[in-house]
Structures are given as C-alpha cells and as structure tokens.
A = this chain, B = another copy of it.
Amino acid sequence: MQKPAIPKGTRDFSPLEMARRNYIFSTIRSVFSRFGFEQIETPAMELMSTLMGKYGEEGDKLLFRIQNSGEKANEAPEKGLRYDLTVPFARYVVQHREELQFPFRRYQIQPVWRADRPQKGRYREFYQCDVDVIGTDSLVNELELIQIIEEVYRRFGIRVCLKLNNRKILAGIAERIGEPDKLVDITVAIDKLDKIGLEKVNEEMKERGLSDEAIDKLQPILALSGTNGEKLETMAELLKESEVGTKGVEEMREVLRLCEIAGVTLPIELDLTLARGLNYYTGAIFEVKALDVTIGSITGGGRYDNLTGIFGLPGVSGVGVSFGADRIYDVLTELNAYPTTMTDATQVLFAAFGEKELEMAIRWAARLRREGINTEVYPSPAKMKKQMSYADGKKIPYVAIIGGDELAENRVMLKDMTTGEQKKVEVEELIRLLNE
C-alpha cells in the first residue's frame, strides 16, 4: 500500500491555514482595488523561450521543465513553470498591448515554482502578490505604492518601517568616487555594513578592487546619519557634480514631499545600503521590515525602466512591489494578530437526537442560511458526544441541540461552546442571537 506524500518543498494547506491565507490575500486585494489596480492571471506554464535567460545562469537551473507524453524523454521540453510574476507580466503587457489602457495598473496573486533546495521557510511552490503600474514615470506612482504598503500593514495591525533607496543615487556615488563600473561591488559590500561593521566592509571593497582613494571618498556616505532631510542634504552636497546622483536625490526628495502631501504616516528611512534586485531597478528601491518580529523583508520592489524590452517593447517605465504572503503569515502568527472570527467560519451546528429531530434541523438550517448565517447540520442522529466533539474540533461557537422536548416545542437548546451556557430559543431569537 502506497503511503501518501507530497513532493519535497511543497505544502498542503489545511482549513485553518487557508482561512488565514485567504484573510491575507483578501486584505491585500482589497487595498489594491482601493487604489484602482486590476487583477490579471497568466498560465502556470510559459514557453521555455519566455523564461530562459531572464533570471541569470543560476535562475535557469531552478526552472521546472514540463513534458507531456507527446514529447520524447530526451527532447528539450518546450514549457516550464513560471519562476516569478514579473517576466510573465512583461510578456503579458507586450502580447496584449493593443487591448490595455496605459498607465496599466495590474496586480497578480499566483503561485510560482523554483527548484531550489527546500529548507526552513523556503518552498518550491509559493505565492507572490505583485502590484505594478507600467507606462508612466510619474513619482505619484511611487507615492501610491507607499500608500498601499501603509494601508496593507495598517489593516494587518503590523508595525513596519519602509526603507527607501534610489538606484540613481548609488550610481552617483560610484561615479563620484571614480569607480562607475564597480557599482555592484560597492553595494554588495555596503549591504553588509549592519552585519560585519565598517572595517570589514572597507576590507572587502579593497579585495573587490576599489582604490584606497575611492574607499576614502566613500566614508562620509557610510557614516551617513540624521533625519531623512539631513541625509538628503549631505547626499545632495556630495553628489552635486554627478548628474545621475543629483537626479536620484531629487527623486527621493519628491517622493518624500508627495508622502507629506498625502498624509503618509508610515515611518520611512532612507537607506543607501538597500540594493535589492540592483541589476534590474533604475530608480526607487523599496523594502519593508516588520518592527516587532525578526524576519527578512516582507515587501519589496522598485522602479524599472526596461522590463518589456526583452519582449520587443522598449522604453516603458514601470514601478511595483511584491508582498511576501508566507512571511506575512509568519508575522501575523507570531503576533497572534489574526481576526478572532474569520467571516467564512461556521456559526452554528444543528445536532439532532433522532430522525424527526434531524428533519426539524434541516428546516431550521434552510431558514438560517437564508438569513445569511453559516450553518451546518450534523448529517445523522449520531451519539450526542460525537456531534459535540465534531463542533469542538471545528471550533464552531454555537450548537443548536434538538431532542424530543425541543421537537415538541419547536425550539432548540442553544449551547454556547465557549461558556458552556445553554438556553431554549425559538427560531427568530436564534437568528437574532447569531446575527449579533
């Protein structure tokens, strides 16, 4: 007999987990809609030609390839499972550009697959929630993504801090210290400042081939402190001779100014060490950290200027962020911050002693459901202990018990499963109580 199992790195989601995940997704979706973003979906499978070469050499190795029986085992598969939502989005925009309104504001919540080695918190199948606007370079879009982040975490009750950087500032810095080609090396090293300290970062930059002079020039930037305004002033001064750097400082200033106009109260911290997805972003870079839980970034993103270029539509600027559903799940669990009652849960179970009582339960249940109450009928007049233990296990808050007396009186014995209290009620009162 085969022992049931699932592929490693994948997961089943239980009813409780699904209720929580649905809460997360529906909250995020509702905020996206509040800002006028519309949902799209793309197929799980994309052509290998769409996927290959988009995620670097390492990424190509992590693609799951798909064979159908028409294909020989030694033929290269034509199709693969999507690796993220960004490349399918770019493909979508180009393929459907004639049908779309630009700026195109879309969100997408779907699973992605990566043949990564599974480990704690890393799965081979996981959901991404991406929200992007494409076809506009207005910084109002950066503002709106920040407002979305603020509103999502306000609804979740998770205190967060938004870290903000700008690729143009990083480019300006590399230019200013005379190492424009070493942008990546500089940021990789700076990125470790928190972890390994200034001395080790300087050592690493030297190993990566930066001149002593360049490293010297970088010191005021590494030591940057103060309010966002003070940091920006220092940067403006340092980068005043770099065109791209000055543009970066201006963009950042403008985003902060727009946040003030919109009344954003989310804490925002300029962080020049923030460099996620550097090869890809061209302007703002975002990252969100939870303040009360130790966990990696729970949302991130930025502006990109040439996402659709690979599919033949160059020069289209966009900006977007991705919410990490699995990490948000872990944060909400750790903070015990899920709503106490999930709206989809069963409110009352009818438990009947006999066949006639069961018929009464069926009648009443039909009535309750018409009144909008999520109602179950235990489907047979089983032992009361069994029926109560079912309600207990499913955490159903009320049980409406029907025995011979109740049947005769056309009432039910309503038991509050939390307090253990019970009282006899008529159908109208039952509806009133459950609707409270």
Contacts and interface: CB of A to CB of B under 8 A. Distances in A.
Contacts of A124: 45
A203 to B, nearest CB: 35
Interface stretch (A87-95, A192-200, A286-294, A327-335): A87-95
A425 B94 CA distance: 40
Contacts of A167: none
Nearest to A394: B101
Contacts of A63: 68-69
A67 B68 CA distance: 11
A304 interface: no
Interface residues of A, number: 106
A346 B1 CA distance: 54
A421 interface: no
Contact of A5 (B47, B73, B380): B47
Interface string A142-172: 0110010001000000000000000000000
Contacts of A312: 1-4
B74 A69 contact: no
Interface string A24-66: 0000010001111011111111110110000000000111111
Interface of A: 1-7, 10-15, 18-19, 21-22, 29, 33-36, 38-47, 49-50, 61-70, 73-79, 81, 91-92, 94-96, 99, 101-103, 105-106, 111, 113, 115, 124-125, 133, 136, 138, 140-141, 143-144, 147, 151, 258, 261-263, 310-312, 344-346, 349, 358-359, 362-363, 365-366, 369, 372-377, 379-380, 390, 393-394
